[in-house]
Amino acid sequence: MDLVIARPEGLYCPPGDFYIDPWRPVERAVITHGHGDHARNGNRHYLTASPGAGILRSRLGADINLQTLDYGQRLDHGGVALSLHPAGHVLGSAQVRLEYRGEVWVASGDYKVEPDGTCAPFEPVRCHTFITESTFGLPIYRWEPQQQIFDQINAWWRENITLGKASVLFCYSFGKAQRILHGLDPSLGPILVHGAVEPLNRVYREAGVALPATLHASEMDKHDPRMRQALILAPPSAAGSSWMRRFGDYSDAFASGWMRLRGTRRRRGVDRGFVLSDHADWPGLLWAIEQTGAQRVMVTHGSVAVLVRYLCERGLDAQAFVTEYGDEDEGAPTEASA
C-alpha cells in the first residue's frame, strides 16, 4: 500500500487521513516548512516542527490551529506513526517520516545537506520510499562550500566601501536573508534590511539563532556618511523600485542558486551574482537519496525527468510525482518576465 499518494489537494496519506504541504485547503495539513509554496492558508489543522511554529504564525497568522512536534518525537494518527526530522533548508524545516505496518516513507519537503548554522542540519532517515525534491537536479549544479561564498560577499562589500558605495544584496527574505546575515562580517559596516526581512529576523532571533544587529532601511538617510559603508538586504521585488533611491550611489548583487546560470544574472541586470542556495545541489541530492537506503524514490519538483531517469539507470524504482510546488526563490529562471 502507498503511504502517500498525489491528490488534487496535495500529497495525501490514506491510512492517516492527512495531507503533506497541500496546495488546496484541507482538514489536516502537515507542513514541512514555511515557504509559500509549501505552507498555505485555509487549512483547519496544522502540524509542523516546533522550531517552525513562529515562522508559520508570522506568515499564516497568529490564530491558525497549530500543533507542533519536536524533531524525532512520534505521533500516532490512524495507526500511522508520524515523526519529523530536520531537513536543513530553513528554520523549522522538516522531513516527514511515516510508518505503517512495517512500511516506512519519508517526504523530504525542500532540503539542503550542508549545515548552515541557522537551522538544524539535514538528518538522513532510512526508509523504503523517499519523496525528494529536485529543484537543482541537474549535474551542472554543484555548490561551493558556503564559507567561500560568504568570503566573496564580504570582499565585495569591502570593495564597495573603498569605492564609497552602498552595497545592496537581493535575496529571498525568509531563510536566505538570515543565512546571509549569519555569514556577513558585521565589523565592516552597518547592516540595513528591507521591511520584508526584519519580521523573519525577529522569529530567528526568538528561536535562538545568532544574527548580527540590523537596522531598518528607513533608519538611515542617504546623506548619512555611514550609508557608504552599509550593506542592505532586500527582496528581489525591491529591485528597480523607488525604494532604492534612498541609498544614493550603490552596487547591487543577487544571491541565489540560479546565479549559477549566466543568463539569469544578465537578465537580473545586477553587478554581481553569488551562487548560494538553500536547496541540495546535484551531488547533495544523490547523497541524500543514497543515505535513505530507499529502493523507491518519488520526485516532486524541479528537474524531475532528469533525476528520475538517472535513478532508474542506477536500478532504483524512481517516478515523478506531480505537485504544485514551485521555487520560493524569486531568482528562478522560470520567471522569465521578472
Q: Which residues contact 271 (CB under 8 A, 6 or more apart)?
A: 251, 252, 253
Residue keyed to cell 517552525: 52
By CB under 5 A, how many residues form the interface with Zn ion? 4
Q: Which is nearer to Zn ion, 35 or 165 (CB)?
A: 35
Q: Which is nearer to Zn ion, 75 or 332 (CB)?
A: 332
Judged by CB under 5 A, the stretch of 183-191, 213-221, 313-321, 322-330 that binds Zn ion is: 322-330
Instruction: For residue 312, give the DSSP letter.
Output: H
* Cβ 316 to Zn ion shortest distance, Å: 22
Using CB under 5 A as the binding rule, the residues of this chain from 29 to 48 that contact Zn ion are 35
Q: Which is nearer to Zn ion, 94 or 125 (CB)?
A: 94
Q: Which is nearer to Zn ion, 99 or 110 (CB)?
A: 110
* Cβ 90 to Zn ion shortest distance, Å: 6
Judged by CB under 5 A, the stretch of 68-76, 104-112, 221-229, 280-288 that binds Zn ion is: 104-112
What is the phi/psi pair of residue 130, to 5°? -115, 130
Whole-angstrom CA distances from 316 to 11, 69, 71, 98, 229 are 21, 32, 28, 20, 53
* Cβ 15 to Zn ion shortest distance, Å: 25
* Cβ 132 to Zn ion shortest distance, Å: 11
Give the integer Cα–Cα distance in Å for 222 and 217.
Answer: 10
325 binds Zn ion (CB under 5 A): yes
* Cβ 256 to Zn ion shortest distance, Å: 13
Query: What's the gap between Cα 144 and its chain centre?
Result: 17
**What is the chain's Cα-based Rg?**
20
Question: Measured between alpha carbons, how far apart are the two ends of the chain, in Å?
Answer: 43
Sheet of 250-255, strand order? 215-216, 191-193, 231-234, 166-170, 250-255, 272-274
Using CB under 5 A as the binding rule, the residues of this chain from 228 to 287 that contact Zn ion are none
Q: Which is nearer to Zn ion, 28 or 176 (CB)?
A: 176
100 binds Zn ion (CB under 5 A): no
Judged by CB under 5 A, the stretch of 66-74, 120-128, 158-166, 324-332 that binds Zn ion is: 324-332
* Cβ 32 to Zn ion shortest distance, Å: 8
* Cβ 295 to Zn ion shortest distance, Å: 24
Residue keyed to cell 522550531: 51
* Cβ 110 to Zn ion shortest distance, Å: 4
Candidate residues 99, 110, 281, 329; the one interacting with Zn ion per rule CB under 5 A? 110
Q: Which is nearer to Zn ion, 34 or 189 (CB)?
A: 34
DSSP assignment of 77-142 equals: ETTEEEEEEE-SSSTT-EEEEEEETTEEEEE--S--SS--SSSPPP-----SEEEEEETT-STT--
Give the integer Cα–Cα distance in Å for 86 and 96.
Answer: 9
Q: Which is nearer to Zn ion, 80 or 288 (CB)?
A: 288
* Cβ 174 to Zn ion shortest distance, Å: 9
Tell me which residue of 333, 315, 323, 322 sits closest to 254, measured CA to CA: 333
116 binds Zn ion (CB under 5 A): no
* Helix or strand holding residue 170 (H, E): strand 166-170
Q: Which is nearer to Zn ion, 199 or 248 (CB)?
A: 199
Question: Would you tell me which residues interact with Zn ion (CB under 5 A)?
Answer: 35, 110, 325, 328
